Amino acid sequence: MKAVLVLEDGTYYQGTAFGKKGTAHGEVVFNTCMTGYQEVLTDPSYRGQMVVMTYPLIGNYGFNTEDSESGTPHVRAFIVRELCDYPSNWRSSVTAGTFFDDVMVLSDIDTRHLTRHIREQGSMYAVLSTESDDIEALAQKARELSGEPKELVAEVTRKKPRHIEGKGPHVAVLDFGVKENILRSLQGLGAAVTVLPADTTAEAVKALSPDGILLSNGPGDPRDIPRAIETIKGLIGYKPTLGICLGHQLLGLALGGTIYKLKFGHHGGNHPVKDLTTGRVYITSQNHNYALGEDFSPDITVTHMNLNDNTLEGFVHNKLPLLSVQYHPEAAPGPLDSDYIFHQFYELIKAS
């Protein structure tokens, strides 16, 4: 079956449909990972987005029941040059047909051209359809939908608390779309973990008497969830706190920082980040469309910078036990390069 992807500027791509049929809409972003497509598909931070994979062959090692970052795919659509229907890997246990049962997939298009178009023009909204080939009508629909408010965190956060046993310190995780590997990283340190819905108040967090607080990753613009910013303001200085990705942005806003949208975001597993405290450069995994400005108070020290575009990638507070990074230290493209972030957080908890 044929399908057409139409961007809001009228650019369109016709290809082959796979998986779910119908019409989907979302912001088109490109991801530069060569592997890890199952993790990308199930990362809640991709909620509301159509992901273009720049690597031309996707699906060659199949899917399994162990590598997902959440219980379901979150991308609005998945766009590839070639989709492999016959994977070869001993861990492959789930077919592409089963995995993409509820995801629209577009293959057999020039993903190089689409990626270059986004790099030059910036990320934009699009509509993917197997039901219509009216290019102008679909482009108009994309333009109309691009301006709608998007409550993406509410779609991915858990509804009820979840507790994970551990013999170490107790960490409360505010779930804005937390990845399973973040929770596994905390468990690896021996921590007991309580995962809380995104709308949990500061008072409710304090009632748990945690030893540390983690602000998780998640989708969208942090300014769309002002309630979370107010909660974080109420927790600043209470216990050692680690922010990751969206949590990093929310913590920055709670401290008086500013946010701006990147032209085409950071999505991939090959972003070089320099730790300014050691001079070492790490290859990091990233997934975000927004970044913090550097106009913090003198109480903030910038600790990490992106070497591709000099955007802020991490900071610490000079007086309070606050640690924050924009990239994903749990994603491990290094594979263990950035694991030290969790150890620093653990040391902050022990010191407190």
Is the distance from CB of 176 to CB of 216 less than 8 angstroms? yes
- The two three-digit tokens of residue 35, written as one number: 């592997």
DSSP string covering 59-87: STT-B-SSS-SSSS---SEEE-SEE-SS-
CA distance 53 to 237: 41
Q: Are 22 and 129 in contact (CB under 8 A)?
A: yes
CA–CA separation, 8 and 246 (whole Å): 26
Q: Bridge-partner residues for 50, per DSSP?
A: 28, 77
Upper half-sphere CA count for residue 275 (Cβ side, 13 Å): 14
Angle in degrees, 0-180, between the axes of helices 180-188 and 340-351, rounded to the nearest 10: 60
Query: Which one of the listed residues 27, 39, 245, 313 is annotated catalytic?
Result: 245
Cα 341 to its chain centre, rounded Å, is: 17
84 belongs to the catalytic site:
no
The answer to whether residue 267 is catalytic is no
Q: Which of 266, 271, 317, 328 is catalytic?
A: 328
CA distances in angstroms from 204 to 107, 235, 239, 266, listed in the order given = 46, 11, 14, 34
Instruction: Tell me if 171 sits within 8 A of 205, measured CB to CB.
Output: no
Give residue for tokens 């019409």. Answer: 23
Q: If residue 284 lies in a helix (H) or strand (E), which one and from where to where?
A: strand 281-292
* Active-site residue, selected from the candidate residues 27, 69, 180, 330: 330
The length of the chain, given as a count of residues: 352
**Tokens 């991915």 map to which residue?**
156
33 classed as catalytic? no
| Residues that are catalytic | 245, 328, 330
